Structure 1
């Protein structure tokens, strides 16, 4: 058999030669023969030809080209059909061939093959199915870059290598960088010391600038893993900031300021505090001279960003520096770009290099704006948002001037998206800051924002910016609460939201029409899918706004909501795409949760669709339906409203109907997979809420042992709290089924609590966390039972129980 295989391979080498033949007849016959070779054999023959250095160079190169083409054009048809051992052999062979190949053009072609295979072995979720390939790449890229950085004979090559290292580390996941960190840091430090000495002796700075940025990038990715190297770099970096004061060293100084602040952010406050005072004094000295800096001084943008990072590091302690940093920051954020109204001829005469952008107004006229300075303006606005977020009430002195700067940006039509998004993001943060001044001051600030936000929701054409504005508006309503919108606001907002929903349906219809067009292909579908995703994202923000309104206004907002009811009902129709049904159900979930008992009047619209959606194919729809069942059980209580008594029983009956469907989802074979876990946990939580709030619906004593076996929840934190609270209710009432005969279930309960703590399902300081800690402490007082419970936990669970006791 070996001889036959060898003969087949030799015939294949002959075939490769014929594929290169100048004789058309010979070549065409060879092409036909090649096409008829089965996929697995084709890969095997090609790989052998690439590896065999005794084959003619032209034939080897042809084999490499054909192998790459095969992996590119026919990967799905060929590769998955290969036995696993053959797939493994192919990957190992390719990595070995790269290392052994000495001919440069051939090595390039083999690299192309490896790249093509690696690309195909990354699935749709971004999971890498060839980790050995990635490791090989890291072992080769990193080593090559470090070696090139140490090429003392060519400064420019060194600088490019450092720049490439920056690009690499910026996108490299932390987990993949850590194994190479020690070697990486060692080379960076030796290069920095050498280049710092060159700067002192010769004044050369190009490589040092790049190395400083490389250090910053590595620290930013490594985060706390950079702590052991902190003392290696910080003294030299401080020395550069203190001494690089000449005009030609401004960029180096700016990059070093950036590096110090990024290292501080990476290693954390505890480690950085040993140098924080010195660093702040260096920054303050630079800031004092800020007014003397030229407008194009590169230090300005680095300083602004560095102050924001220092704010994140120091937290409330940063407030003392605001009087120093806010002046220059507001000055930069207030930059007004130069604008002009030009005829078409003048516009054409202006060079693109002048940094102007134009919008055609018709009638041979264009409106232009000079974009120079807008990037700095956007960065400054980002920093203001950072201060408001980090300092909260500590930023209150500046809220008025900042809000007067930010609100007009909502109407700033010549912007990059960052400016408007930062403006929108700042609004709820500024309200939070201003809350300390009392309701009157807060209301005045909100009135200044509100009209502009609503108008921007109605007019902003860019979907990314629009979604940010809508999200901001929803957050503002949550901050302000009941009464923040007057009748005019509601009327305008209702019309806008109705228009957004109608546009959503219209866009879906137009996409379906385009799918019937004769030009429809994969590229068109990709574009249509992008449009669909944008539309769905706006739909999520409509849901956010309604959620904030329902949670603030409760049932008194329902008459206003009814103008949107036909569109919301349309969203949950069975034929709609799953995101429509998901978000339509979420909106009705809010109606049930925040507007009961009045929610009953809409039961005819959502009861059946919600029941049918519990077992939907989409986990997102299942989750929304299960959450709805839970809040129906929790909030569907009518007190003494007799007229709706029959509807109350409709909810009770509905919970009974829903129960077996919830159990079916929980007990399905794939219930705990990554894509299904959130839906499953909402079903478990819903069962708990039915037992707690509608116990007449089911046989609680029969269900409880099953429910306990499904715990704990750890993905959906909010539902985990509901579940743990109910567990505490049962334990504190000494429920015999939960505790078991002679407290025999307590070890299992300890295991549930420990796993919840390990998965951070409970928040520090939350009443639920304290209740669970008290349960543990109560058992702790009875020595034998405590020993039995603890002994059945593994070491990690025991540590989690101790952590719970220490923190609650």
Structure 2
């Protein structure tokens, strides 16, 4: 007993040392703590939390450590504990929550219980700690319920909706405790945000009544006592319910709107800024939910209220919480009002540009100084080696990012109406490439109406302003998420701008960067293989290597995107430039490489064939054999890329490709006819093979026996999954029908019912877009048969009711 007490005493000393400002003492304590076995750690930590005579800091530290242990190392520690120890931990936690008198400590222990409960819900949403969850509901530790609603959505909502909604509404009515009411409202927000609409609708009436009566009550309290905490949360709860319920919220609109407008009009004191901001958000979300027709009765009033706030905008302090709510509300109003919003642009653009222009504070500090700056100051740091850290103050960055996204929202919604602002917005955003990208710049450039209104020179000038910055960012951006966004947007920009948008210097710099990216890709793969041979290698290491691998492959897909946009814009002119990358792309499709390498290497060669034919044939020695071989690869992704390549080879390749079309046909047929060709993972590859067979018959008919292959090909139609290839096959089918091909129509048109069912299935699976010319061609085929009485009756009689309806739908719309 004495030994255990002494050990616990040692542990308190250790907790104290973990909080020590002395680096050496703290590091030593961390090492000691890490070496304590899992079960002992949990025992010591629980005892420290339970011991109300221990120092406050030590108890708080123990609670933080226990939660961290359960969140980061749960799978290693908890399942290995004997079941009686597991049971003891659960009951101990619930007991501490009941006994704890100090609220901040109780919240920390609730967080531990929630963390444990979260880990004890399996992937199917089954709860392995029912009494814990029941306790959390009964005592409604709303933080825990709210957290679980977010972490386990939508499974948590599906399983516990009845219990949670009832418990939270009951708790929100607890007039004796403001804070508990506010927590319950916050948990309700978490719950409804991720709740499927169909689950929420049955409770809507009850929810709305509760929320309305609480809002009325809290409005009176605000006027009489100045208390606002619960009202802030209730307003956000209303917004969240409306956002999920959408048009089902229309009947309740008039119940809330007058009070919400009243708050915006009257809550003008400094301490009510957050309430006012949240109410502005709530009004705009309700407007979006119920739609323009219902909202129009108040739209003008609401706009005037917002404009009034707007005129005071310059007097607002930078940290005024209303700013970000205002900015988002404007964008929602723009979505609701559409073109009618344009009249307000001159008023809203000033503040929006001001917010988007916030310059973040940055600093280069030595590590010692960095440690002295607390997290509360809103700084984030990146280590630049042993002694230095780069810091950025994140306060204001959120608003800046929101403002940039809202500018793009206006550009998209208002199109021509936004043109006069495009230039200043682009000039503001290009220097921001370093911080966020979000496709925003592309969206601004992509508003092709700019070119229509201002002329192509204007667009070219804007592009030149951006192009250098984009290429530099691709070469230097260290964060792979940001990098992939930039590469994606750069590729899209080239597609928009087309041939001539890159000059020789651009090509030279870009070539060097892409070459470096591919070389790095191979080097990283080798390094990962080395790590797999290491003595420390285990499942956890493998998991992080897999993450690295996924990141690398994602960047490879973006290299492919950029090359795709360059080939589609520049065609064969770009081949001499491409030759510097050729050996690396050939390396991607070597048989020993992982399947994503082979898939993306083939995709790049597919683009070479499609866009550079027949000049592509001079590289055929590098890709033709692998392409034919990979049609039958084990990986469906590789098969799909190879099959697509053989299809474009037939479609765009010159005469040199003829013998290879003949050779490809039996390989494609083998894939299509294999037993599992239509399973979920195989269907896309199979449909690309079917499409490729169609392209060989259509574009290289003398390379195959069309009469023999056609009946088979018809039996494989229609394509459901790959919409682009579906259109190709339907166009070929129309060619055959329009030329009265005897094999397709059959003797005395006996194949027509089969053709009708193919067309109907295509319509049902949305494989034909109504605006596509192909839809009109198919509708005409049907109309021709319609005029011939008996044949029409025969065709329709053989279709199911759904297929008949689909044929009618096609006729109505095309």
* Short-chain TM bin: 0.7 to 0.9
**What corresponds to 2:786 in structure 1?**
780
Of 781-790 and 553-562, deviating more is 781-790
- How far did 1:632 drift? 1.1
Q: Flag the 1:799–1:103 CA change in 2: closer, same or farther, 3 A.
A: farther
**What corresponds to 2:471 in structure 1?**
454
- How far did 1:429 drift? 2.7
Structure 2: distance between partners of 1:656 and 1:484: 39
Of 369-378 and 127-136, deviating more is 127-136
Q: Is the 8 A contact 1:344 1:366 kept in 2?
A: yes
**CA offsets 1:610-636 (integer angstroms, 9 cap, x no match):** 122222222211211111111111111
Structure 2: distance between partners of 1:88 and 1:783: 78
Q: Flag the 1:524–1:92 CA change in 2: closer, same or farther, 3 A.
A: closer
**What corresponds to 2:579 in structure 1?**
562
Q: Flag the 1:327–1:84 CA change in 2: closer, same or farther, 3 A.
A: same
- How far did 1:229 drift? 4.7
Q: Is the 8 A contact 1:435 1:442 kept in 2?
A: no
**What corresponds to 1:429 in structure 2?**
444
Q: Flag the 1:261–1:33 CA change in 2: closer, same or farther, 3 A.
A: closer
Q: Flag the 1:273–1:131 CA change in 2: closer, same or farther, 3 A.
A: farther
- How far did 1:69 drift? 19
Unpaired runs of at least 5, structure 1:
419-426, 637-650
Q: Is the 8 A contact 2:438 2:485 kept in 1?
A: no
**What corresponds to 2:66 in structure 1?**
67
**CA offsets 1:723-777 (integer angstroms, 9 cap, x no match):** 2212222222222333334434333333333333333323342212222222233
Q: Is the 8 A contact 1:264 1:313 kept in 2?
A: yes
Q: Is the 8 A contact 2:437 2:482 kept in 1?
A: no
- How far did 1:303 drift? 0.7
- How far did 1:154 drift? 2.0
- How far did 1:550 drift? 0.1
SS at match of 1:53: coil
Structure 2: distance between partners of 1:441 and 1:37: 67
Q: Is the 8 A contact 2:408 2:440 kept in 1?
A: no
- How far did 1:56 drift? 36
Of 268-277 and 552-561, deviating more is 268-277
Q: Is the 8 A contact 1:417 1:465 kept in 2?
A: no
Q: Is the 8 A contact 2:408 2:443 kept in 1?
A: no
Of 69-78 and 295-304, deviating more is 69-78
Structure 2: distance between partners of 1:19 and 1:452: 46
Q: Is the 8 A contact 1:369 1:414 kept in 2?
A: no
Structure 2: distance between partners of 1:726 and 1:778: 18
Query: Which of 536, 550, 574 pairs up with 1:533?
Result: 550
- How far did 1:555 drift? 0.4
Q: Flag the 1:344–1:537 CA change in 2: closer, same or farther, 3 A.
A: closer
Of 595-604 and 213-222, deviating more is 213-222
Structure 2: distance between partners of 1:251 and 1:542: 45
Q: Flag the 1:582–1:122 CA change in 2: closer, same or farther, 3 A.
A: farther
- How far did 1:157 drift? 1.0
Q: Is the 8 A contact 1:392 1:429 kept in 2?
A: no
Q: Flag the 1:136–1:791 CA change in 2: closer, same or farther, 3 A.
A: farther
Cα RMSD (Å) of the superposition?
9.3
- How far did 1:360 drift? 7.1
Instruction: Give the TM-score taking structure 2 as reference length.
Output: 0.77
Q: Is the 8 A contact 1:159 1:210 kept in 2?
A: yes
Q: State yes or no: 1:339 paired with 2:345.
A: no
Q: Flag the 1:398–1:791 CA change in 2: closer, same or farther, 3 A.
A: same
Q: Flag the 1:532–1:365 CA change in 2: closer, same or farther, 3 A.
A: closer
- How far did 1:438 drift? 1.3
Q: Is the 8 A contact 1:393 1:434 kept in 2?
A: no
Q: Is the 8 A contact 1:428 1:475 kept in 2?
A: no
Structure 2: distance between partners of 1:47 and 1:341: 41
Q: Is the 8 A contact 2:356 2:404 kept in 1?
A: yes
**CA offsets 1:367-403 (integer angstroms, 9 cap, x no match):** 6544332222122112122222333333211111111
Of 767-776 and 503-512, deviating more is 767-776
- How far did 1:779 drift? 3.1
Q: Flag the 1:435–1:496 CA change in 2: closer, same or farther, 3 A.
A: farther
**CA offsets 1:453-472 (integer angstroms, 9 cap, x no match):** 11111111111111111111
Q: Flag the 1:108–1:682 CA change in 2: closer, same or farther, 3 A.
A: farther
- How far did 1:476 drift? 1.0
SS at match of 1:204: coil
**CA offsets 1:37-57 (integer angstroms, 9 cap, x no match):** 999999999999999999999
Structure 2: distance between partners of 1:58 and 1:296: 31
**What corresponds to 1:217 in structure 2?**
240
Instruction: Count residues in correspondence.
Output: 783
SS at match of 1:363: coil
Structure 1: distance between partners of 2:361 and 2:54: 67
**What corresponds to 1:190 in structure 2?**
213
Q: Is the 8 A contact 2:412 2:443 kept in 1?
A: no
SS at match of 2:632: coil
Structure 1: distance between partners of 2:206 and 2:93: 27
Structure 1: distance between partners of 2:57 and 2:471: 68
Structure 2: distance between partners of 1:670 and 1:48: 58
Q: Is the 8 A contact 2:599 2:638 kept in 1?
A: yes
- How far did 1:537 drift? 0.6
SS at match of 2:685: helix
**CA offsets 1:431-465 (integer angstroms, 9 cap, x no match):** x6455311211111111111111111111111111
Of 721-730 and 13-22, deviating more is 13-22
Q: Flag the 1:172–1:51 CA change in 2: closer, same or farther, 3 A.
A: farther
Structure 1: distance between partners of 2:411 and 2:502: 24
**CA offsets 1:690-733 (integer angstroms, 9 cap, x no match):** 22112233332333333333322232221122122122222222
- How far did 1:564 drift? 0.2
SS at match of 1:358: strand
Of 53-62 and 238-247, deviating more is 53-62
Q: Flag the 1:49–1:301 CA change in 2: closer, same or farther, 3 A.
A: closer
SS at match of 1:357: strand
Of 717-726 and 21-30, deviating more is 21-30
**What corresponds to 2:615 in structure 1?**
598
Q: Flag the 1:579–1:339 CA change in 2: closer, same or farther, 3 A.
A: closer
- How far did 1:254 drift? 1.3
Unpaired runs of at least 5, structure 2:
140-163
Structure 1: distance between partners of 2:513 and 2:9: 73
Q: Flag the 1:738–1:64 CA change in 2: closer, same or farther, 3 A.
A: farther
Of 337-346 and 229-238, deviating more is 337-346
Q: Is the 8 A contact 1:627 1:682 kept in 2?
A: yes
- How far did 1:201 drift? 5.0
- How far did 1:93 drift? 25
Structure 2: distance between partners of 1:341 and 1:802: 68
Structure 1: distance between partners of 2:432 and 2:289: 33
SS at match of 1:576: coil
**CA offsets 1:152-184 (integer angstroms, 9 cap, x no match):** 332211110111122223333445545555544
- How far did 1:532 drift? 0.4
Structure 2: distance between partners of 1:508 and 1:746: 54
Of 148-157 and 227-236, deviating more is 227-236
Q: Is the 8 A contact 1:663 1:683 kept in 2?
A: yes
SS at match of 1:708: helix
- How far did 1:579 drift? 0.7
Q: Is the 8 A contact 2:665 2:693 kept in 1?
A: yes
Of 390-399 and 593-602, deviating more is 390-399
Q: Flag the 1:275–1:371 CA change in 2: closer, same or farther, 3 A.
A: same
Q: Flag the 1:334–1:633 CA change in 2: closer, same or farther, 3 A.
A: same
Structure 2: distance between partners of 1:280 and 1:435: 31
- How far did 1:27 drift? 39
Q: Flag the 1:696–1:139 CA change in 2: closer, same or farther, 3 A.
A: farther
Structure 2: distance between partners of 1:298 and 1:51: 39
- How far did 1:247 drift? 3.3
Query: Which of 752, 756, 760 pairs up with 2:758?
Result: 752
- How far did 1:244 drift? 3.2
- How far did 1:495 drift? 0.5
Structure 2: distance between partners of 1:333 and 1:374: 9
**What corresponds to 1:652 in structure 2?**
658
Of 617-626 and 12-21, deviating more is 12-21
Q: Is the 8 A contact 1:720 1:761 kept in 2?
A: yes
Structure 2: distance between partners of 1:668 and 1:789: 31
Of 595-604 and 794-803, deviating more is 794-803
Structure 2: distance between partners of 1:26 and 1:301: 44
SS at match of 1:126: coil
- How far did 1:71 drift? 17
Of 263-272 and 158-167, deviating more is 263-272
Q: Is the 8 A contact 2:367 2:389 kept in 1?
A: yes
Structure 2: distance between partners of 1:705 and 1:116: 61
Q: Flag the 1:481–1:795 CA change in 2: closer, same or farther, 3 A.
A: same
Instruction: Give the TM-score taking structure 1 as reference length.
Output: 0.77
